[in-house]
């Protein structure tokens, strides 16, 4: 573990670049600290907070966090963003965990002043949303030492921070009662051959109305949302080295391996094979 100090609430406050666990790699580029971190076995971490706001991309293992009186479970390729200074306590699962952490220096907070929410709100992305793919691109870019200032990394950080800084804490428009049923159905059955007619019957609204409201509230179409869920599932399956890509593509709900490769590359910016190499 790196440097820590006792906070006024009794918990430890970890300084930038410091974490519980074993640090495998760390470098600072373009106003952010990138840290590869792992815990080899299950353990409960002491209550603590962080000096800097940070993203935590879970690459392998299971993790439970108690944060602001809420408990949340995370699995591989889930991402969380946490503001600076908020206490939390975590439990590492029995297989240990592997994290990619991105801490944000104050220079970025100044650049985000025009955004209404800045970096003050926590956010979780557990279904393959944009935070995951931007985080994975930064993970890919930092597999080797780079200059202290990198335009590629800076632009990816700007996209990542822009996503969080522009997310409202609550929906400005209340979703219709049927929207939760549709989202839950997609999350549970994304690998099945769902049709718009089936979904509209579930919602009890016209297919055109369903499609329009879905995009209005979630910022993407039903097909795009389903593709993200499928690729997120495929990423988790690829952690098993014996699983073949053809089998993974079918299990995730893709019609064929070619469609899987195209969709995966479009979302992640890399091929499934390259992704798998990064995870070894």
**pLDDT tens per residue across span 207-250:** 999 999 999 998 899 999 999 999 999 999 999 999 999 999 99
Give residues with Cβ within 8 angstroms of 66, minimum separation 6: 88, 89, 90
CATH classification (class only), 177-279: mainly alpha
Q: What are phi and psi of 118, to 5 degrees?
A: 50, -135
* Other CB atoms within 10 Å distance of the CB of residue 111: 14
- Inter-CA distances, 170 with 175, 212, 264, Å: 11, 20, 30
Side-chain-side CA neighbours of residue 255 (13 Å):
6
CATH superfamily of 4-165: Jelly Rolls (2.60.120.10)
| Over residues 262-279, mean pLDDT | 91
Q: What is the pLDDT of residues 32-83, one digit of tens each?
A: 999 999 999 999 999 999 999 999 999 999 999 998 888 999 999 999 999 9
pLDDT at position 115: 77
3-state secondary structure 118-156: CCCCCEEECCCCHHHHHHHHHHHHCCCCCCCCCHHHHHH
Give pLDDT, residue 16: 94
Q: Summarize the confidence of residues 192-214 as an average pLDDT.
A: 95
pLDDT at residue 209, rounded to an integer:
96
Predicted confidence at residue 111, as pLDDT, reads 87
- Give the C-alpha separation, 135 to 156, whole Å: 8
Helix 207-218 × helix 196-203 angle, to 10°: 80
- CB contact at 8 A, 96 and 90: no
| Predicted pLDDT at 10 | 63
Task: List, in sequence order, every residue forming a beta bridge with 90; answer none if it has no partner.
Answer: 65
Round the average pLDDT of the chain to a whole number and report it.
91
Which residues 6+ apart lie within 8 Å of 209 measured at CB? none
Alpha helices in the chain (DSSP H): 106-111, 130-141, 151-165, 177-189, 196-203, 207-218, 222-237, 245-251, 257-268, 272-279
pLDDT score of 172:
42
Are residues 186 and 195 in contact, defined by beta-carbon separation less than 8 angstroms? Answer: no
Reported as a single tens digit per residue, the pLDDT across 94-142 is 999 999 999 999 999 888 877 777 788 899 999 999 999 999 999 999 9
- pLDDT tens track for 140-170: 999 888 899 999 999 999 999 998 888 654 4
Q: What pLDDT is attached to residue 184?
A: 95
For the chain, the domains span 4-165, 177-279
Q: Are 179 and 214 in contact (CB under 8 A)?
A: yes
**What pLDDT, on a 0 to 100 scale, did the predictor assign at position 31?**
96
């Amino acid at each position: 573990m790196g440097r820590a100090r006792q906070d006024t609430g009794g918990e430890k406050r970890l300084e930038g670049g410091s974490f519980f666990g074993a640090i495998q790699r760390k470098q600072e580029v373009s106003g952010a600290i990138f840290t590869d971190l792992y815990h080899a076995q299950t353990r409960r971490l002491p209550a603590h907070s962080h000096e800097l706001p940070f993203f935590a991309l879970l690459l392998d293992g299971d993790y439970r966090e108690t944060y602001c009186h809420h408990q949340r479970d995370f699995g591989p390729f889930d991402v969380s963003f946490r503001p600076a200074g908020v206490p939390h306590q975590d439990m590492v699962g029995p297989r240990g965990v592997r994290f990619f952490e991105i801490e944000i220096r104050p220079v970025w907070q100044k650049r985000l002043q025009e955004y209404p929410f800045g970096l003050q709100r926590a956010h979780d992305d557990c279904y393959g949303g944009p935070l995951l793919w931007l985080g994975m691109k930064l993970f890919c870019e930092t597999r080797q030492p780079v200059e202290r200032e990198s335009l590629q990394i800076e632009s990816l950080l700007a996209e990542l921070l822009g996503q969080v800084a522009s997310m409202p804490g609550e929906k400005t428009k209340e979703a219709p009662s049927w929207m939760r049923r549709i989202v839950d159905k997609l999350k549970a059955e994304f690998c099945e051959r769902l049709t718009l007619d089936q979904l509209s019957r579930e919602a009890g609204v016209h297919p055109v109305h369903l499609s329009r409201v879905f995009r209005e509230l979630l910022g993407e179409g039903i097909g795009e949302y389903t593709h993200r869920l499928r690729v997120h599932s495929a990423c988790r399956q690829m952690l098993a080295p014996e699983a073949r890509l053809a089998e993974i593509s079918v299990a995730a709900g893709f019609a064929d391996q070619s469609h899987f490769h195209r969709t995966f590359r479009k979302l992640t910016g890399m091929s499934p094979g390259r992704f798998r190499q990064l995870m070894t």
